[in-house]
Chain A
Amino acid sequence: MANIITRLLDSVNRNKNVGMFSFLLQRITGVLLTLYLFMHILVISSAKLAGPEGFDTMMARVQTPFFHWMEVLLFIGIVIHAVNGIRIIIVDVGSEARRHKAWLYAMTIIGIIIIVFGIYKFLPKLFGHTM
């Protein structure tokens, strides 16, 4: 494990550029989103484990302002992963490798717009108002 981390840090150190940054970001968000997916499945399965009332109790517990703030983090992670994923498809399935930096900047701007719009839509829930 220590060896793996050393190798990772070493290769990051040797390649400090935007490609490395987006590569790392894609993998970190990917792992976190997969962990969220497992958690999501377990939470929803309360309908089977505890019946409709159990599901409603669970849903009430995870639809508080605190969890909505967590959902904003989730949303940001998803948008980063999604726009970077689009860029990866454009760059490696399409033949845009030469312009990969331009695509990264374009996707960063699109990502920021989506995140700002999403947070704007989230705002009422974040402060405890139902929509």
Chain B
Amino acid sequence: MPAREVSSQKGMWPWLIQRITGAILLVFLGLHFFITHFAVEGNINFQIVNKRFLQSPAFWYNWDWLLLGIALFHGVNGIRAIILDFGVKQVTARILFWLMIIICVAFFVYGFTALSPFKVA
């Protein structure tokens, strides 16, 4: 008898959130590219990023954690969906769910604290 399988179709919320975060990333990443590649003369360095942050700290603070969090969720949830589509055992799907949450949280905390040097005058 084949093992019980789950597919990503079972998860309505991950599916919907994947679409919503995708749409948000469209706007956010567009702006992110514009800011880092077109609004900057020459190469990016510490001073440029630091100066930009200090011009409106509240905006960039929220921008950073939102962009980081949404991109991480979208990427990690996407990989999870791909693995689920191959058909895995239910216990594997559950482990995968928590593993992906741990990866998301760990990289979010690491990535966000890694930005702290830019936020000092």
Contact = CB atoms under 8 A, between A and B. Distances in A.
Interface of A: 4, 7-8, 27, 30-31, 33-34, 37-38, 41, 44-45, 47-49, 51-53, 55-56, 59-60, 63, 78, 82, 85-86, 88-89, 93, 121, 130-131
Contact of A34 (B22, B68, B79): B79
Contact of B44 (A41, A59, A86): A59
A89 B75 contact: no
B75 A33 contact: yes
Interface in B94-118: 107, 110-111, 113-118
Contact of B111 (A30, A45, A82, A131): A45
Contacts of B114: 41, 44-45, 47-49
Nearest to B29: A78
Contacts of A38: 107
Interface residues of B, number: 33
Given A56-B45, A59-B43, A93-B19, A34 B111 contact: no
Contact of A47 (B29, B68, B115): B115
7 contacts: A30-B75, A34-B79, A44-B114, A48-B113, A55-B45, A56-B45, A121-B37
Contacts of B45: 55-56, 59-60
Given A31-B78, A48-B114, A52-B46, 11 more contacts: A31-B79, A37-B71, A47-B114, A51-B117, A52-B117, A55-B45, A55-B117, A59-B45, A88-B19, A130-B43, A131-B42
Contacts of B107: 38, 41
Nearest to B23: A89
Contact of B43 (A7, A34, A47, A60): A60
Interface of B: 19, 22-23, 26, 29, 37-38, 41-47, 50, 68, 71-72, 75-76, 78-79, 82, 86, 107, 110-111, 113-118
> Chain A at the B interface: mostly helix, strand, loop or mixed?
helix
